[in-house]
């Protein structure tokens, strides 16, 4: 599942839903697409129904056009209902439904967050780059919803820090052949 | 070399809560304020747009209650297209009500299970790491699951009536663009438990029982925390019944005397004005009849159960009678009782959803009406957090030339300040620093209202709560942030 979050009425904050809109045009099989203004507690149930979830959000700072990282369950919490991070959803997913989907965050750099319906030109460039990266990553998703790194996909290798993951697993992962068709992510 | 990358995605809601407390020379609280950095740009943003875009555009104000803005905007546009209140087709009126009551159900459930129940179950001094929905999931999984499913049920109702989660298009000027199919209706009525409306009614009832149990065990704290007199304002149905979607404006004082006696909200400017204070970007609405000093009021669940005469659904009415009996029929001014009121409203919303789903009009085909166009319209409804005002004027080219929005959070502005003042005087006065316990209590007071910061503010970044303590010379002596 790809879940874009953000407010399209706040300029670059709409980057998440915009990426989902681009994916809708591609009509990719096996891919659930969702978009909403923000994550909420009931998304734990939705996440639990999928093997892999990529949350796409806008990024407020940094010098990279996008960042991709694995989300680990954490007890992150705010004093208001108006903010709920992916780590919190991941935690609830595990605590309430005993499910541990692979959750990743694709955060696309935005620059303007005032009222307005247009994504800035610079952020649109970042969106295109993030989309290209996403399509590349999608090619290396296993049927179980894990991302296998290819040498060709150096970005994912670097960003996912898979070397460490392999070490922690205690064994070296084999290069996976490209799955036939897209798994349900 | 290990390089740590910190990722800070833009939070969905842009804003933060900031509290400042000033002490006098004796270390007593001289002033306590809740600041919200408001951005009123939305009213300008919609100027020049064709009026029919309003119901979709205004949803962008908030990710938590887009449906409330969608419907309030649509109600104002109904007036503009000459199909004002009460003139919609029965199907359109009932589909909108279904959407709105679904919104109340999901938003209130989120508030109670996500914010309030952890405070009530674990106590105000519990570790903040467990005093939240995540702690609840660990210690009371069943309750947390109820919260998630109730919320999901409300969201699905919204999806079925509004079309989608972002930019729902269900309500249009003069009506709606879809009704329910019989399959959609049966999905909510007849799905296997737990995902059906009867289970939602049962769970809502159970949540009330839980609150009453906690109340019995912690009566002193729940009754006295941030208990202060105020006026209360809300819509009520013309016969005085609780109604979230439509009615007349009623306000009562702390003793239950009527200040506004069931007036037409199209004329709200005759009765309500907004004061600007130099230290806050958010305005302070007040009842003109009582003036700036005494005319402030509360909105939301507590206010609604103080203004209405009865609740038009059997189980919620029974609970309402018990609730009212606790204060001998007088208005309830206890801040934490707003959670009790909210739970009764969840039950009522679930009952009304069932009633609407069983109504044949809900699958009807007459969706839109047209009338004689006007150049001005006001749309009001009871959003989960309180009364929501949308007011627009258009020109001959159908473009919006004026918009004025008073959101629930703005209506409650003074109430936040009063609640924070209570906490400051009770727990911080005479203390040299802010302790964790004090900070928690400030948080509890604000949580009782769950201000909708995205409606009222805009500041990109994380969403902390910050409390600053100043001495009599204006020097910052302590700051706590969480």
Is pLDDT at A175 greater than 90 in this prediction?
A: no
Of the candidates B5, B137, B452, which has its C-beta nearest A82's C-beta? Answer: B452
- CB pair distance less than 8 Å for A82 and B15: yes
- Please, which pLDDT band fits residue A77 given cuts at 50, 70 and 90? low
**Exposure on the CB side of residue B217, measured as CA atoms within 13 A:** 10
Average pLDDT of the residues of chain A: 77
Q: Which residue of B has its CA nearest to A18?
A: B166
- CB pair distance less than 8 Å for A13 and B145: no
Query: How many DSSP H helices and E strands does chain B contain?
Result: 18, 15
**Which residues in chain B have their CB less than 8 angstroms from residue A45's CB?**
148-149, 152
**Which residues in chain A have their CB less than 8 angstroms from residue B151's CB?**
40-42
**Which residues in chain A have their CB less than 8 angstroms from residue B203's CB?**
none
Q: Are residues B237 and B326 in the same domain?
A: yes
Residue B238 preceded by cis peptide, ω within 30: no
Q: Is A32 on the interface with B (CB under 8 A)?
A: no
Q: What pLDDT is attached to residue B17?
A: 66
- CB pair distance less than 8 Å for A37 and B144: no
Q: Which residue of B has its CA nearest to A8?
A: B60
C-alpha distance from B135 to closest chain A C-alpha (Å): 8
Q: Is A83 on the interface with B (CB under 8 A)?
A: yes
**Which residues in chain A have their CB less than 8 angstroms from residue B165's CB?**
34-37
Q: How far apart are CA B80 and CA B340, in angstroms?
A: 38
Q: What pLDDT is attached to residue A147?
A: 67
**Which residues in chain B have their CB less than 8 angstroms from residue A57's CB?**
9-10
Residue with the bigger pLDDT between A8 and A168: it is: A8
Q: Is A77 on the interface with B (CB under 8 A)?
A: yes
Average pLDDT of the residues of chain B: 87
Q: Is A78 on the interface with B (CB under 8 A)?
A: yes
Domain ranges of chain A: 2-169
**Which residues in chain B have their CB less than 8 angstroms from residue A63's CB?**
none
- CB pair distance less than 8 Å for A82 and B113: no
C-alpha distance from B281 to closest chain A C-alpha (Å): 17
Q: How far apart are CA B370 and CA B173, in angstroms?
A: 9
Can you tell me which residue has the tokens 């159960």? B305
**Exposure on the CB side of residue B6, measured as CA atoms within 13 A:** 4
Quote the Cα angle for B347-B170-B108, to 5°.
25
**Which residues in chain A have their CB less than 8 angstroms from residue B446's CB?**
79
Reported in sequence order, the residue ranges of chain A that DSSP labels E, i.e. its strands, are: 2-5, 33-36, 52-59, 66-70, 102-109
Residues 28-67 of B with CB under 8 A from A: 39, 41-42, 45, 57, 59-64, 66
- CB pair distance less than 8 Å for B5 and A69: yes
Looking at the 3D structure of chain B, how many domains does it have? 2
Residue B71 near residue B389, CB atoms below 8 Å: no
**Which residues in chain B have their CB less than 8 angstroms from residue A83's CB?**
11-13, 462-463
CA-to-CA dists, residue B179 to B9, B54, B97, angstroms:
38, 21, 12
Instruction: Tell me whether residue B21 is in a domain.
Output: yes
Single out the residue of B33, B73, B42 nearest to residue B455, CA to CA: B42
Can you tell me which residue has the tokens 């279904």? B98
Instruction: Tell me whether residue B441 is in a domain.
Output: yes
- Please, which pLDDT band fits residue A129 given cuts at 50, 70 and 90? very high
Q: Is B194 on the interface with A (CB under 8 A)?
A: no
- CB pair distance less than 8 Å for B12 and A39: yes
Instruction: Tell me whether residue B338 is in a domain.
Output: no
Instruction: Tell me whether residue B457 is in a domain.
Output: yes
Instruction: Tell me whether residue B296 is in a domain.
Output: yes
| Pick among B2, B4, B10, B106 to test the A interface (most A CBs inside 10 A) | B10
Instruction: Tell me whether residue B391 is in a domain.
Output: no
Q: Which residue of B has its CA nearest to A77?
A: B132
Q: Which residue of A has its CA nearest to B155?
A: A42
Residue B162 near residue B70, CB atoms below 8 Å: yes
- CB pair distance less than 8 Å for B14 and A77: no
C-alpha distance from A163 to closest chain B C-alpha (Å): 13
pLDDT tens string B405-444: 998 988 998 998 888 888 888 887 777 777 777 777 887 8
Phi–psi pair at B54, nearest 5 degrees: -55, -50
Q: Which residue of A has its CA nearest to B42?
A: A115
Q: What pLDDT is attached to residue B448?
A: 84
Is pLDDT at A4 greater than 90 in this prediction?
A: yes
- CB pair distance less than 8 Å for A57 and B10: yes
Q: How far apart are CA B126 and CA B121, in angstroms?
A: 9
Class of domain A2-169: alpha beta
Residue with the bigger pLDDT between A87 and A145: it is: A87
Instruction: Tell me whether residue B249 is in a domain.
Output: yes
H runs (alpha helix) in B368-412? 408-411
Q: Is B167 on the interface with A (CB under 8 A)?
A: yes
Q: Domain range holding B292?
A: 229-333
Burial class, A121, CB count within 10 angstroms (exposed 0-12 / middle 13-18 / buried 19+): exposed
- CB pair distance less than 8 Å for B60 and A82: no
Residues 75-114 of B with CB under 8 A from A: 106, 110-111, 113-114
C-alpha distance from B279 to closest chain A C-alpha (Å): 23
Q: What pLDDT is attached to residue B360?
A: 97
Mean pLDDT for A24-44 is: 87
Of the candidates A5, A92, A114, which has its C-beta nearest B133's C-beta? Answer: A92
User: What would you measure as the largest C-alpha separation in chain B, in angstroms?
Assistant: 72
**Which residues in chain B have their CB less than 8 angstroms from residue A5's CB?**
12
Rounded to the nearest angstrom, the gap between the alpha carbon of residue B374 and the centroid of all alpha carbons in its chain is: 30
Q: What pLDDT is attached to residue B362?
A: 97
Q: Is A36 on the interface with B (CB under 8 A)?
A: yes
Single out the residue of B215, B101, B200, B213 nearest to residue B148, CA to CA: B200
Single out the residue of B389, B391, B360 nearest to residue B374, CA to CA: B391
Q: How far apart are CA B26 and CA B168, in angstroms?
A: 55
**Which residues in chain A have their CB less than 8 angstroms from residue B42's CB?**
115
Burial A91-120 (b: 16+ CB within 10 A, else e): bbbbbbbebebbbbbbbbbbbebebbeebb
Domain boundary among B296, B318, B333: B333
Q: Which residue of A has its CA nearest to B106?
A: A42
- Please, which pLDDT band fits residue B114 given cuts at 50, 70 and 90? confident
pLDDT tens string B293-346: 999 999 999 999 999 999 999 999 999 999 999 999 999 999 999 999 999 999
Reported in sequence order, the residue ranges of B186-246 that DSSP labels E, i.e. its strands, are: 231-236
pLDDT tens string A78-127: 545 556 788 888 988 988 888 899 999 999 999 988 777 789 999 999 99
Mean pLDDT for B444-469 is: 62
Is pLDDT at B16 greater than 70 in this prediction?
A: no
Mean pLDDT for B367-373 is: 94
The whole-model pTM stands at 0.85
pLDDT tens string B235-253: 999 999 999 999 999 999 9
Q: Is A37 on the interface with B (CB under 8 A)?
A: yes
H runs (alpha helix) in B81-181? 90-109, 117-122, 133-139, 141-162
- Please, which pLDDT band fits residue B82 given cuts at 50, 70 and 90? very high
C-alpha distance from B464 to closest chain A C-alpha (Å): 7
């Amino acid at each position: 599942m790809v879940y874009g979050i953000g407010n399209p009425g706040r300029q670059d904050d709409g980057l998440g839903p915009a990426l989902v809109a681009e994916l809708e045009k591609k009509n990719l099989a096996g891919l659930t697409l969702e978009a909403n203004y923000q994550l909420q507690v009931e998304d734990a149930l939705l996440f639990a129904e999928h093997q892999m979830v990529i949350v796409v959000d806008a990024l407020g700072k940094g010098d990279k056009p996008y960042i991709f990282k694995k989300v680990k369950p954490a007890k992150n919490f705010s004093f208001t209902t108006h903010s709920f991070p992916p780590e919190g959803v991941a935690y609830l997913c595990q605590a309430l439904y005993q499910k541990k989907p692979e959750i990743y965050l694709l955060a696309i750099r935005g620059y303007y967050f005032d009222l307005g319906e247009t994504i800035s030109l610079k952020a649109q460039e970042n969106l295109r780059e993030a989309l290209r990266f996403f399509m590349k990553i999608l090619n290396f998703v296993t049927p179980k919803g894990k991302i296998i790194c290819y040498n060709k996909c150096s970005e994912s290798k670097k960003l996912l820090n898979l070397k460490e993951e392999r070490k922690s697993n205690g064994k070296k992962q084999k290069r996976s052949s490209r799955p036939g068709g897209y798994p349900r992510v | 070399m290990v390089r740590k990358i910190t990722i800070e995605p833009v939070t969905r809601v842009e804003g933060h809560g900031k509290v400042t407390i000033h002490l006098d020379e004796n270390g007593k609280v001289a002033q306590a304020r809740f600041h919200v950095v408001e951005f009123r740009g939305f009213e300008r943003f919609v100027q020049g747009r064709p009026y029919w875009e309003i119901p979709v555009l205004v949803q962008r104000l908030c990710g938590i209650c887009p449906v409330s803005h969608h419907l309030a905007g649509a109600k104002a546009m109904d007036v503009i297209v000459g199909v004002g209140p009460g003139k919609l087709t029965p199907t359109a009126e009932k589909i909108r009500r279904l959407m709105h009551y679904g919104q109340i159900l999901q938003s209130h459930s989120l508030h109670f299970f996500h914010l309030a129940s952890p405070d009530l179950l674990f106590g105000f001094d519990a570790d903040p790491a467990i005093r939240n929905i995540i702690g609840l999931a660990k210690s009371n999984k069943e309750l947390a699951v109820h919260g998630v499913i109730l919320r999901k049920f409300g969201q699905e109702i919204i999806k079925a009536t509004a079309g989608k989660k972002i930019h729902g298009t269900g309500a249009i000027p003069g009506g709606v663009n879809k009704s329910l199919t019989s399959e959609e209706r049966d999905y909510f009525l007849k799905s296997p438990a737990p995902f059906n409306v009867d289970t939602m009614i049962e769970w809502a009832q159970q949540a009330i029982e839980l609150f009453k149990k906690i109340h019995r065990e912690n009566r002193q704290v729940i009754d006295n925390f941030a208990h202060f007199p105020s006026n209360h304002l809300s819509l009520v149905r013309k016969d005085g019944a609780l109604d979230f979607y439509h009615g007349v404006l009623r306000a009562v004082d702390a003793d239950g005397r009527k200040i506004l006696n069931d007036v037409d909200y199209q004329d709200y400017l005759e009765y309500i004005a907004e004061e600007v204070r130099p230290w806050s970007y958010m305005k302070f609405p007040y009842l003109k009849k009582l003036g700036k000093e005494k005319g402030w009021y509360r909105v939301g669940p507590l206010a609604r159960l103080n203004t209405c005469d009865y609740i038009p659904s059997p189980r919620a009415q029974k609970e309402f009678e018990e609730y009212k009996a606790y204060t001998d029929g007088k208005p309830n001014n206890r801040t934490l009782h707003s959670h009790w009121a909210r739970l009764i409203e969840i039950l009522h919303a679930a009952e009304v959803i069932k009633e609407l789903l069983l109504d044949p009009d809900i699958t009807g085909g007459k969706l839109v009406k047209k009338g004689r166009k006007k150049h001005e319209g006001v749309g009001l409804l009871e959003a989960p957090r309180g009364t929501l005002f949308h007011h627009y004027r258009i020109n001959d080219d159908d473009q919006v030339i004026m918009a004025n929005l008073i959101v629930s959070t703005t209506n409650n502005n003074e109430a936040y300040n009063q609640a924070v003042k209570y906490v400051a005087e009770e727990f911080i006065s005479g203390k040299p620093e802010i302790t964790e316990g004090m900070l928690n209590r400030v948080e509890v007071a604000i949580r009782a209202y769950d201000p909708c910061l995205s409606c009222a503010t805009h500041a990109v970044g994380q969403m902390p709560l910050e409390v600053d303590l100043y001495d009599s010379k204006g020097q910052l002596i302590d700051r706590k942030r969480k």
